[in-house]
């Protein structure tokens, strides 16, 4: 997941890594931060947002 800022620097919905790569390659976005990976769009967009929940999988901890 890549965090995304609109052209004004406001947070909008995150995107997948592949989409972020395309935006960066086509000069439609710039890299803002590497940790957490954040890009900023260089064009106007709809700025739609929605509530999301982030889940973290800590792996399999099987007990004997």
- pTM for the full model? 0.77
- How is residue 17 written in tokens? 């890594």
Contact predicate 49/12, CB 8 Å: yes
pLDDT, one tens digit per residue, over 12-54 is 999 999 999 999 999 999 999 999 999 999 999 987 778 877 7
Residue 5: CB partners within 8 Å, gap ≥ 6? 11, 12, 32, 38, 39, 40, 41
pLDDT class for 8, splitting at 50, 70, 90? very high
Instruction: Work out whether strand 11-15 and strand 29-34 pair parallel, antiparallel, or are unpaired.
Output: unpaired
């Amino acid at each position: 997941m890549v965090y995304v800022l609109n052209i004004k620097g406001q947070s909008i919905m995150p995107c997948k890594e592949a989409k972020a790569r395309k935006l960066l390659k086509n000069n439609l976005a710039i890299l803002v931060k590497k940790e957490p990976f954040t890009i900023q769009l260089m064009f106007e967009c709809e700025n739609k947002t929605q509530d999301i929940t982030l889940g973290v999988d800590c792996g399999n901890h099987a007990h004997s």
